[in-house]
Structure 1
């Protein structure tokens, strides 16, 4: 029999929560009543802003520098943050990113860097979080931020696409294995979101036209955070192994785009 007790989340860790989707997620979870562990890689000032926002919402915030590519150190950072929080009920793997290039030109070093960040580091973090949740025996929520490219490719992004496809598979397998412990594992797959990663600010979303997206614009970080907060909540108790595309309908445009493209410019990325 699988665990079915009530789930009452109080403690969350959100990796790469110094800006963008991670920052919005930390604030959304604080709004839901959770204390939040915040990680940053290079933007400590941004992480402090995130922490200030969590505290303004009446919750506790703890910070740690985190490099998902330093695999031997990943467990310790997460374990220490969980210790400061007093437990770990929700883990959001948001750290990711990476450069691209034509597959014929990608070096092995570049490939390993991108896959290491987006897949190896995600595995190390999610495994550590799962072990803590199983030991606590109180259920849990694990959410991986993937990408629409978990589902569909993009030219000049072979390593990133491969890593996100792999992360989607990891989510599904973890969902199968952890269900008996009352732990759900899901993915959120953003489309284009107005964040520093796309060289945009959140307010740019309302003023940027995207003809190829049914909703006609990029998304806002808080629109991703809202879905993550749902998946982290007691209300999502019967949702696991799923990937939630939050993309304004972008993924529905494949055949439409194929028949309406008027040049070969897409081949250049």
Structure 2
């Protein structure tokens, strides 16, 4: 009994650590978070953020907010809830890729100054999200938590399969604490519950839900693999980039499938 209670407490503290690290959500100061194995929670955090954004989407739809304005508000809130953590990584990774010398890429990514490629990558990511969300109908709300979940599972696959390039860094502790394969296989379960519930409640077409889920899995794996091929390893920045680009691609593919 004591062992089970201790295990539940550790899970709870780890979830709190994930909430602090991946979002701007505050927690009471007397709570004691742990950052041990928080990567396993990142898809769950993404799903929860997606549900929150879906609620805002519902509210704005009830107010008859114009689609483009609704989309800009939603994507801005999306960015704000994460504190720009992942977008910052995507921008730094783009600046690193602009350098032809692989040895200098990590050095460039450490520079706090945003380069032209970083700015352009942010514009493309945000434009894709705004365009995709503006094409949503209210009954397609479930795509948002699905998208945010798969985006973060791409980061989990990068942690699970590929080496970390720096001994120290904002993402180094992820690989040190990661337990393979349990963290890799358990982390997408909250995401998979979404299309399953949609199918059983007959709210969505079986084939559409299956195609979007398959697209999410393939995209998550492909994006993390692509960054591995470019950098021959991973950093905290490439983790963030994997999240952002997977989200953008999955969201866009979902809209195409649902049209």
Q: Which has the higher helix share?
A: 2
Q: Which has the higher strand share?
A: 1
TM-score, L = length of structure 1: 0.31
Greater RCO (Cα-Cα under 8 Å, separation 6 or more)? 2
TM-score, L = length of structure 2: 0.32
